[in-house]
Amino acid sequence: MRVAMYYNNSDIRIQEMSRPVCGPGEMIMRVEASGICGSDVMEWYRIKKAPLVLGHEVAGDVVEAGEGVENFKIGDRIVAAHHVPCNTCSYCLTGHHTACETLRRTNFDPGGFAEYVRLPAINVDRGVFVIPDDISYEQATFHEPLGCVLRALRIARLQPGQNVLVIGSGIAGLLMIHAARKRGAGRILAIDPVPFRLDMAKQFGADEAIPPEEDPNAILRRLTEGRLADLVVVCTGAEMAQNRALESAERGGKILFFALPDPEVQISFSVTDVFGRNDRTLTTSYGASPYDSWAALELMRSPSLRVKDMITHRLPLSDTAKGFRLVERAQDSMKVIIEP
């Protein structure tokens, strides 16, 4: 079978690899659509394990089912979570599924930028879901990024009417804006340096979308009659964004760090800025549990959730390198889908 082998962001090669063999409890998926995630182009993070086949936002068909598989059959249209938790450790039992050691060890064989992937038995058991008939393969790939957003908003406990600042309007920020709007957020302000992304942010629910050089606090106060953001979500790893977030939260507000910055990025702040009468909360959210992926898939059945309109490019497997360039450049693309 053909795969897109990742060596670095500028070196992705279409190569031949043996098709995975299906074992007991496992399944083979023929990949119909696989989204390129912003984390796929974080070279400092990915290159340590190169060469490898990336791709974790997948949707496709069951073409083989191993002995013991009872809940799925050949021909089923499915999505699959690449990392799944044990559901029994202290982390899982307290709602911290993405801190689970099992989740850190589970994955596809190989990644989703391939014609076929093997889904291990544990993934089949707790991380595979049938795609509803009214959702396309390309829409279904959003089960993973949207699931991450739903988990983040649950952690942040966003309430109707609360004002939101989203820093970074790539696909994660765009989904955050769109989901927050659907959950009844008050005013939403988006920040991004790219005009294309600012336009997209406004299309998907932002009241205002501004470049980083403008003063978000002045605009927030104008939009909200003097208040700052009840929730600030950082959807970019840029160092300036991490520090700006601390300046834009209202008293009693939350700052949610949602993007993974480079390891050397440090945040400096005075504890008194969050302590005492300011009563601000700093929190993080990483990844999604299988429940979040399922919830995202169900939520996408609503026609008002317009994830399909976020897709700007659909490319064959042979053009995976082009897709990576589009996502890394981040100028005129939003969601890029590879169709093996």
Rounded to whole angstroms, the Cα distance separating 109 from 82 reads 9
pLDDT value, residue 238: 82
Q: Could you tell me the pLDDT band of residue 269, with boundaries at 50, 70 and 90?
A: confident
Q: Say what percent of the chain tops pLDDT 70.
A: 100
Three-state SS at 186: coil
Whether residue 273 is predicted with pLDDT greater than 80 in this model: the reply is: no
Query: What is the tally of helices (H) and strands (E) in the chain?
Result: 12, 15
Whether residue 243 is predicted with pLDDT greater than 90 in this model: the reply is: no
Beta bridge partners of 208: 189
Mean pLDDT of 63-79: 97
DSSP E strands in 188-310: the ranges are 188-191, 208-210, 229-234, 249-257, 281-284
Mean pLDDT of 51-71: 96
Other C-beta atoms lying within 10 Å of the C-beta of residue 48:
8
pLDDT tens by residue, 281-305 = 999 999 998 889 999 999 999 988 9
- pLDDT averaged over the chain? 94
Domains of the chain from N-terminus onward: 2-142+300-339 (3.90.180.10), 155-284 (3.40.50.720)
User: DSSP string covering 306-336, please?
Assistant: -GGGGEEEEEEGGGHHHHHHHHHH-SS-SEE
Q: What separation, in Å, do the N-terminal and C-terminal C-alpha atoms of the chain show?
A: 10
DSSP 265: -
Whether residue 237 is predicted with pLDDT greater than 90 in this model: the reply is: no
Distances (CA, A) of 70 to 21, 81, 97, 118, 226: 19, 18, 25, 17, 57
The closest of 82, 121, 118 to 103, measured between CA atoms, is: 82
Whether residue 15 is predicted with pLDDT greater than 80 in this model: the reply is: yes
Q: Could you tell me the pLDDT band of residue 51, with boundaries at 50, 70 and 90?
A: very high
Residue with tokens 């480079």: 262
Dihedral pair phi/psi, residue 262, rounded to 5°: -60, 150
Whether residue 111 is predicted with pLDDT greater than 80 in this model: the reply is: yes
Rounded to whole angstroms, the Cα distance separating 190 from 183 reads 17
Burial of 134 (0-12, 13-18, 19+ CB in 10 A): exposed
pLDDT value, residue 127: 94
Here the tokens at position 88 are 């029994």
Whether residue 261 is predicted with pLDDT greater than 80 in this model: the reply is: no
Three-state SS at 176: helix
pLDDT value, residue 59: 98
Residue with tokens 């790539």: 170
Distances (CA, A) of 147 to 17, 71, 93, 208: 31, 22, 19, 25
- What is the pairing mode between strands 335-339 and 27-35? antiparallel
Whether residue 3 is predicted with pLDDT greater than 80 in this model: the reply is: yes
pLDDT tens by residue, 192-202 = 999 999 999 99
Distances (CA, A) of 191 to 173, 177, 188, 240: 9, 11, 10, 12
Rounded to whole angstroms, the Cα distance separating 276 from 95 reads 28
The closest of 143, 123, 114, 141 to 27, measured between CA atoms, is: 123
**Among the ranges given (20-34, 239-253, 289-303), the one the predictor scored with the smallest mean pLDDT:** 239-253
Rounded to whole angstroms, the Cα distance separating 208 from 204 reads 11
Asked if 177 and 204 touch (Cβ cutoff 8 Å), the reply is yes
